[in-house]
Amino acid sequence: MLENFFYVFIGVGLVFDLFGCIGLVRLPDVYNRAQAATKCVTLGTCMILIGVAGIGFIGANWQMGLKAVICAAFVLLTSPVAAHAICRGAYISGVPLWTGSVEDAFADRAQVIRTQQTTEGSVQSEEAETT
């Protein structure tokens, strides 16, 4: 009975995964795609992992359960960090927003970061020339 509960967990996680990937295909913009896919797939994979952990603990398979819990914690911590890094890199490398976007709060800060990068690059090239 309790095992069926964890199978339901795995099923809901699979549905979240599928919807996240549909969002990855259907949405119009890098940033929309990144947020839709990252949220849905992170939650879906964590639910699959927690379901597998529960089934492992019920079957007295402690190794599998503990490894699944560790993996769930790791995915939950690292996947949003990776998506944030990708979106920051995308904005700084100049990918345009969707034409229907209404708010662009990162524009000034991104401009500052770009100018810092260009000045650092010129300093580094001068050092390379002198040495």
Partner 1 sequence: MSVFVQIALAVLLLSSVLCLHRIGRGPSAPDRTVAIDILGTLVVGFCCVMALTTKQEYYMNIAIAWALISFVGTLALAKYLEGRSYDA
Q: How far is the CB of 130 from partner 1 (least distance, A)?
A: 19
| Distance between CA atoms of residues 80 and 78, nearest Å | 6
61: contact with partner 1 by CB under 8 A: yes
- The answer for residues whose C-beta is within 8 angstroms of residue 56's C-beta and 6 or more apart is 62, 63, 64, 65, 68
Per CB under 8 A, residues contacting partner 1 are 7, 10-11, 13-15, 17-18, 20-22, 24-25, 30, 33-34, 37-38, 41-42, 44-45, 48-49, 52, 55, 61, 63-64, 67-68, 70-71, 74-75, 78-79, 81-83, 85-90, 92-93, 95, 117
